[in-house]
Amino acid sequence: MVWLNVVGMNWKLGITVAAMMLGAPTAAQAVTVGAPLNVPANASGVGCEALVYIGPPPPSCTILGNDTSGAWTSQTPRGNWVITTARVRTGPRVGPMVFTVIRATRSQAQGGGRLLCCNTPVESQVFVPRPNAINEVPVRLPVKNTVDVVGGEPIETVDYLGISLLDLNSSGPVATTTESESLSYIAPAIRQGQERLADGSRGSARVLVNGEYQPADAAGGGGGGGGGAADVLAPALSRFGLSRNRFAAAGRGGSIAAKVGTTVRYRLTEPATVTFRVRRKGAKRPLKGSFSHKGKAGANKLRFTGRLRKRKLRRGSYVMSATSKDAAGNVAKVKRLRFRIVKR
């Protein structure tokens, strides 16, 4: 395998020979590209601040990997493809992440020009995965490994699948493995509006990320590698609970207030609007009225006053339901809990 130094960077990407070894798609079948996920994320208990050798700790980072032995690669096979499912095996701590397509280009005119790296033509929706687990995320990421004639000049374009940790809450999805495996990092994460501060590599490390690649024609088009990813993932809501399950309704005001009532807590895998409805225990239909909260990816909280439509709930037992909906219109499974309104 031929390895090419990336201009202005310390790490390396294998492009030409690796692409030829993988070959062109011969059938409309999905192929898995990326690292095997058969080992736990054990490289470190922390994330970007340990993976990236700079100081102070970067606010985020992008990582990708390759295996020089040829056992696996994060490089897109020859042709136009669409990634339909992306996977990451997480460590003990998780925060918001995004699957990132990293693109390298170079001219093939006159024996080859400078390798230009890197930019990101497309990324997945932001999500918060489960810790210590293999997380599968439905995506639609057009990627390519082609030579296209641009202005009469042959330009080679090769995409890689990586992942960006968007804050310092995540432990790295990285395993300590053999010498042939390595990771490359960019900090901050290679996203629009971010200024690159540092890049480098670490040996004996496997980035625990892979994806299902469909030939672009079989996946319904989109092989050019541009445009945004279709958001098909519902904003899952978890850890739905109350600080107090028995409380008195507030004497005035709306459903949400700063200090009175009970604290509603929940977590989201991505930003979403959460709508809350209330019904009496044993009743089929919810009471008239509802209230909503714009949640962020991760932990959220608000204060519920025990009021709907500016009226106090009567004493008794109730069921509260929560439904999360993201900007793309994806709706997650409803979550429910019980509470009781008591006399003040």
Is residue 37 a contact partner of residue 210, using CB atoms and an 8 Å limit?
yes
Domain shared by 68 and 200, yes or no? yes
Domain shared by 138 and 247, yes or no? no
Q: Judge whether 287 lies within some domain.
A: yes
Q: Judge whether 227 lies within some domain.
A: no
Residues of the domain holding 158: 4-215
| Of the candidates 40, 70, 46, the residue with the CA atom closest to the CA atom of residue 58 | 46
Bridge partners, residue 156, by sequence: 106, 147
Burial of 159 (0-12, 13-18, 19+ CB in 10 A): buried
| Number of domains composing the chain | 2
Domain shared by 21 and 99, yes or no? yes
* Cα 324–chain centre separation: 18
Q: Judge whether 63 lies within some domain.
A: yes
Domain shared by 208 and 245, yes or no? no
Q: What's the chain's length in residues? A: 344
Q: Report strand pairing: 246-248 vs 335-342.
A: parallel
Render pLDDT for 50-61 as a digit per residue (tens, 0 to 9): 877 666 788 899
The confidence score (pLDDT) of residue 219 equals: 61
Is residue 307 a contact partner of residue 255, using CB atoms and an 8 Å limit?
yes
The confidence score (pLDDT) of residue 163 equals: 96
pTM above 0.85, yes or no: no
Render pLDDT for 130-160 as a digit per residue (tens, 0 to 9): 999 999 998 889 999 998 887 778 889 999 9
Domain shared by 188 and 301, yes or no? no
Q: Judge whether 228 lies within some domain.
A: no
Question: pLDDT in tens for each of the 344 residues of the chain?
Answer: 223 233 233 334 443 333 333 344 444 578 999 999 999 998 766 788 887 766 678 889 999 999 999 999 999 999 999 999 999 999 999 999 999 999 998 887 766 666 777 888 889 988 999 999 999 998 889 999 998 887 778 889 999 999 999 988 899 999 999 889 999 999 889 876 566 667 888 889 999 999 999 998 766 654 433 344 456 667 888 889 999 999 999 999 999 998 889 999 998 877 899 999 999 999 999 999 999 999 988 889 999 999 999 999 999 999 999 999 988 788 888 999 999 999 98
The confidence score (pLDDT) of residue 232 equals: 61
The confidence score (pLDDT) of residue 196 equals: 67
Q: Judge whether 76 lies within some domain.
A: yes
Residues sharing a CB contact under 8 Å with residue 311, sequence separation 6 or more, in sequence order: none
Domain shared by 144 and 259, yes or no? no
Task: Identify the CATH number of the domain in which residue 322 sits.
Answer: 2.60.40.2550
The confidence score (pLDDT) of residue 194 equals: 63
The confidence score (pLDDT) of residue 290 equals: 95
Q: Judge whether 15 lies within some domain.
A: yes
Domain shared by 297 and 173, yes or no? no
Q: Judge whether 230 lies within some domain.
A: no
Residue-by-residue DSSP string for 108-153: -GGG---EEEEE-S-B---B-PPTTSEEEEEEEEEEEEEEEEETTE
Domain shared by 188 and 109, yes or no? yes
Q: Judge whether 223 lies within some domain.
A: no
